[in-house]
Amino acid sequence: MAQLNVFEATVNHFLAPVMPFMEDAAVSEIMINTFEEIYVERAGKIEKTDARFEDEEALMAAVKNVLQYTGKRVTDDHPLIDSRLPDGSRVHVVLPPLSRKGVCITIRKFAKVMFDSEHLIELGTWTREIMEYLKVGVLAEKNILVAGGTSSGKTSLLNVLSSLIPHHQRIVVIEDSAELELQQDHLITLESRRPDRWGRGEVTIADLFRSSLRLRPDRIIIGEVRGGEALDMIQAMTSGHAGSMSTLHATLAMDAMNRLETLAMMSEVELPLHALRAQIASAIDVIVLVTRFSDGRRGLTQVAEVLPLGDDGKYRLQDLYRYELDESEASHDGQGALKWTGARSVFAEEPKVRALRRHMDLSRKVFGMEGGA
């Protein structure tokens, strides 16, 4: 604890020019383009600030100090570095000459107030009906993929979804840079490691995933799937490790399926395309799309279930909820609501789902239980 306090005090000293933004609850991201050009995202809007570091050397000193907390160092071999601050905020550093204007840092602040499912209803991120549907999905051990663009709120949503997992279950969390904050009691957190200056000691997400299968997990949560580990995740999901979750960059649910396919193909294991697609369609049960609107709002815009491959060998999805814009003259640009499409869940007749009918109220119609179970 004493060492943590020392690290925190030292980091605060070197990051003094941006500490007011670190302490401002309305600021979610700090973007240091150069030592004298600093932007922040405040209440969903990006704005330039008057803050600045004394010079390039002062900014580099701050970088070295931040990296020291996670045991990393500045080297020419690794000009792109992920780290985190003592408070859990995520840091990404780009060094020259990759960053042509000088050292570039982005700090994604750790949310000191953890969102919960009720808070997301208050924010308008989702509705109580959709919360119920996804809770049933989590309890029924459906594999859920949260997709969205950069800074759309994927991690925050994954935190909330993971909070619906029963506390008696053993969860293994795998991340490149620790960011998820699960509240469950039985939790194992694993973090990847880059190679040292001699190229030794690297531990990838794929390595950690294969290790996690030997840790007797009830659930596996990957902070973000980015490469060939996608195939390991898919194969685990189809071989008994149900109820897993992850995030992925995509702008539509179908895009998420195609991107997951591309990532799986980056694995050293080669599979025929049809076999790979069949595994992906079998592995992923639900895709939740979260979007960041131009005015800074973040919310769900699509909830889709994955169907078996079509006769043409292509992915098929069924939208259960879809964001519809309000076209009335009184509405503001981009305003709308997430509405049920009228489709019935493909999981409605599964015993695990029907056994959870006590958790259904507004979502009963989605599972075909309007008149009772």
pLDDT digits (tens, 9 = 90+) for 9-33: 888 889 999 999 999 988 989 999 9
Residues 39 and 49: beta-carbon distance below 8 Å: yes
Token pair in block for residue 326: 């309000």
pLDDT, average across residues 3-12: 74
Rounded-to-integer distance, Cα 185 and Cα 166, Å: 10
Model pLDDT, residue 139:
96
Phi and psi at 86, nearest 5°, equal: -55, -25
- Per-residue pLDDT reduced to its tens digit, 324-349: 887 665 555 657 888 999 999 999 99
Q: Which residue has tokens 């959870």?
A: 356
According to the model, what pLDDT value does residue 373 have? 44
Q: Assess contact for 209 and 220: CB atoms under 8 A.
A: yes
Q: Which residue carries 């075909």 as its tokens?
A: 368
pTM attached to this predicted model: 0.82
Per-residue pLDDT tens digits for 88-104: 888 999 999 899 899 99
Cα–Cα distance for residue pair 34/32, rounded to 1 Å? 6
Does an H or E element contain 40, and which? strand 37-42
- Please list the alpha-helical segments (H only) found in the chain: 2-14, 19-22, 56-69, 117-123, 128-139, 154-162, 205-212, 229-237, 253-264, 273-283, 351-354
Arithmetic mean of pLDDT, 65-78: 80
Residues in the chain: 373
pLDDT-derived band of residue 169, with 50, 70 and 90 as boundaries? Answer: very high
Task: Go through the domains of the chain in sequence order and give each one's CATH number.
Answer: 2-108 (3.30.450.90), 117-367 (3.40.50.300)
b (16+ CB within 10 A) / e for 283-315? bbbbbbbbbbbeeeebbbbbbbbbeebeeeeeb
Task: Give the model confidence (pLDDT) of 226-247 as tens digits.
Answer: 888 899 889 888 877 889 999 9
pLDDT of 298 reads 85
